[in-house]
Chain A
Amino acid sequence: MLRMTRTSTAFGILLFFLLHTTSGESGSTSEDESDDELENIDVECFSQLEIKEDGHSLTCNFTELDLNNTNINLTICSTIIEKRICSTMEKQEGTYFLYFYGILSPKDVCVVLESNRPYCRSVEVTHIVKPETPFGINITFRKDANEYFIRYKTPHSKKKYLKDKLIHELAYRQENGTWETIHSQYLRVKLLGKSLQMGASYEVKVRSKPNGKYFKGIWSEWSSSEYFQSAAEHPITKSTDMVVVITTVGFILLFVTLVLILMFWKTRIKPVLWPKLPDHKKTLEQLCKKPKKNFDISFNPESFGYVHIHKVDGIQAKAEVECFLQPSAPLDADVSEKVCNGSDMKTSLSAVDKSILKLPVTYGGIWPSDTLSGHLCETHLSMLNESSNGIPYKVCSSNGTQLYNCGPMTHSSSSEDPTVQPRSGPLNTNTVSLIQPNNGIRSSNKDEAYVTMSSFCKNQ
């Protein structure tokens, strides 16, 4: 009996709990429906840091407009040192607003529908940051670089948390054109002039956003627009082209100049800039140069058929040298009288070819026709007067006796020349000379010159 009582009591208690549970579940359908409604409500929130001294703000709104008219409240709850603290947001024209002071811990955004159970969603206020709007756009045109330097400011530059944690977006467009954007993490942007149309009007505006490394969020509002006029011309491009052309031409000219200098350095430039000083030894060597290989040298008389050859018995070099060196002795009276005729000889001096007179007499050859006229004496005097370079001239016989003494005439050796000697005596048989016509005489002068020079070199 006692057992049955205990069993029934236990069964009754169990049934009670079961009924209570089922009734509780059935009774909660209305609450579940409201919870489902709250779950479907989409609430968008964003935070603004340091908006008011040390305080931050949180702004929320509902995406579905129908709910704006219903009596819905939003509360923000946070846990501070294990204690939960909640604050109700202010309702301002469809949005909900609240100031708060802690950004380290997450906040619970709770939607409360009248007497229903609130629906909360956790948000991290550092991940829904909306920066303040930039301001103070300043546009400067740099003519030398042909670029537009745009600077702007942000209120966060003087605050703690978002100072260097923002990225900025600059948008520009031509009048009523499409927008183009540039991103920058700094408070300045450069627009190249060549990317803009010349002489057109442009509009510029800026906005900011957290860089996403720790602080995340959405774009701020656009700043107020600024307008500027692009330059009508691009002078820098013209000057740049001119500089390029001039530089290229300069390099080409320099290269050509260097090539020319290298080519003509030895032959033309160096002798002008650094002329060689005359060297006596080298000059002498050049004078005594051996004739070329192909030079037609032959001592065969037959090969010189076109040339009048004067045979030479002997070259009395020693006697001639003595004649050069010894002072002139008084002349034979007969000889001097016959030679020196007087004034006629003086007049004929001017017609005498000095080059012929200066030719040395090395052998008993034919004298020039001028000298044969017997003007030697006068010419001697005139030569003395006109030039002092001559050597006293003497006409000597083959036996060394001085036959005649004339003025300054250069000659290496002399031999007896009976044609020259104005004496009336018979010719010396040792001397052979031929009186040639004038043309022959002139050609023999050249030969005499050649022979004289060669004998000079031999004596050396």
Chain B
Amino acid sequence: MFHVFFRSVFGILPLFVVLLPVNSSTCVMENTTVIREKYENILSHDIELLENMSEEYRDRCCRNKRHENPSAFFCNDTQEIRSLQNMACDMLKFFYKKKINKDFRWQTARVSCMTLEILHCRCDREQKNRKVCILLTQPSKDILGAQGPKKKCCQELCELKETISSLRSCWNKFEKEIAR
């Protein structure tokens, strides 16, 4: 009887511990007016700079698009914050991709961290992403390491360019939504 008691008690509790993060939101609700002000006066300029840097790279070779995380490109209606969180967290993974230009990676990580900071969100891979955003507070870019050999066609670059474009579109959509 005792083993039945312990099994029922100690079996269910871990189940709740595992299931809770799936259903709980990783973003803290913030005043939409504050979010809009920060986006219009600060983040929009950084996204514009990132887009200009992205356009310098040709995407002729981006034909066969293979995406590891397709959900990162959709901006769902009434779930813009969740979509922006997914995009920002997906962009952080490119921080260590040495095939991509160092400055381009640095600016990509800045936009991702600023998006998460404005929305008061955190990524599922909390430990790794937190480390990237902390590293951005350092003045030196040596943490990015030496840049790898440049290649004309880079599948990771194609994916990053598409993610940046989706992030910009989703922010515009969210801004119009909260400006009403």
Interface residue ranges, A against B (CB under 8 Å): 54-55, 78, 80-83, 85, 99-105, 126, 160-161, 165, 214-215
> Known contacts being A81-B122, A103-B42, is A55 close to B133, with CB within 8 Å?
no
* 21 A-B pairs in the complex with CB atoms less than 8 angstroms apart: A54-B110, A81-B113, A81-B116, A81-B126, A81-B129, A81-B133, A81-B134, A83-B130, A83-B134, A99-B139, A100-B137, A101-B139, A102-B117, A102-B137, A104-B114, A126-B41, A160-B49, A161-B42, A214-B37, A214-B40, A215-B41
Which B residue sits closest to A214, measured CB to CB? B41
Residues of B within 8 A of A105 (CB): 117
Residues of B within 8 A of A81 (CB): 113, 116-117, 122, 126, 129-130, 133-134
Residues of A within 8 A of B37 (CB): 214
Count class of interface residues, chain B: 20 to 34
Structural contact, B134 and A80, CB atoms closer than 8 A: yes
Main SS class of interface, B: helix
Which B residue sits closest to A101, measured CB to CB? B137
Main SS class of interface, A: loop
> Known contacts being A55-B139, A104-B38, is A80 close to B45, with CB within 8 Å?
no
A102→B138 CA distance, assembly (Å): 10
A54→B103 CA distance, assembly (Å): 11
Binary contact readout B94-110 vs A (1 if CB under 8 angstroms, 0 otherwise): 00000000000000001
For chains A and B in complex, what number of residue pairs have CB atoms within 8 angstroms?
52
Binary contact readout B16-47 vs A (1 if CB under 8 angstroms, 0 otherwise): 00000000000000000000011011100110
Residues of A within 8 A of B41 (CB): 126, 161, 165, 214-215
Residues of B within 8 A of A215 (CB): 41
Q: Indicate if B136 sits at the interface (CB-CB under 8 A).
A: yes
Specify which of B45, B117, B122, B138 is in contact with A104 (CB 8 Å cutoff). B117
Which A residue sits closest to B116, measured CB to CB? A81
Binary contact readout B39-61 vs A (1 if CB under 8 angstroms, 0 otherwise): 01110011001000000000000
Q: Indicate if B62 sits at the interface (CB-CB under 8 A).
A: no
Structural contact, A160 and B45, CB atoms closer than 8 A: yes
A57 → B minimal CB distance (Å): 11
Instruction: Give the 7 A-B CB pairs with smallest separation, nearest first.
Output: A160-B45, A214-B41, A81-B130, A104-B117, A101-B137, A81-B133, A80-B133
Residues of B within 8 A of A161 (CB): 41-42, 45
Binary contact readout B120-136 vs A (1 if CB under 8 angstroms, 0 otherwise): 00100010011001101
Q: Indicate if B144 sits at the interface (CB-CB under 8 A).
A: no
Q: A80-B137, A105-B117 provided; 13 other pairs, C-beta below 8 A?
A: A54-B110, A80-B134, A81-B117, A81-B126, A85-B134, A100-B137, A101-B139, A102-B117, A104-B38, A104-B42, A104-B117, A161-B42, A214-B41
Residues of A within 8 A of B126 (CB): 81
Q: Indicate if B154 sits at the interface (CB-CB under 8 A).
A: no
A79 → B minimal CB distance (Å): 10
A158 → B minimal CB distance (Å): 12
Residues of B within 8 A of A101 (CB): 136-139
Residues 50 to 96 of chain B near chain A (Cβ within 8 Å): none
Residues of A within 8 A of B133 (CB): 80-81
Residues of B within 8 A of A214 (CB): 37, 40-41
A80→B129 CA distance, assembly (Å): 11
A272→B133 CA distance, assembly (Å): 99
B95 → A minimal CB distance (Å): 14
Residues 117 to 171 of chain B near chain A (Cβ within 8 Å): 117-118, 122, 126, 129-130, 133-134, 136-139
Structural contact, A104 and B118, CB atoms closer than 8 A: yes
B111 → A minimal CB distance (Å): 12
Which B residue sits closest to A82, measured CB to CB? B122
Of A78, A81, A103, A214, the most chain B CB neighbours within 10 A belong to A81
A215→B45 CA distance, assembly (Å): 15
B36 → A minimal CB distance (Å): 11
Residues of B within 8 A of A160 (CB): 45-46, 49
Which A residue sits closest to B138, measured CB to CB? A101
A3 → B minimal CB distance (Å): 36
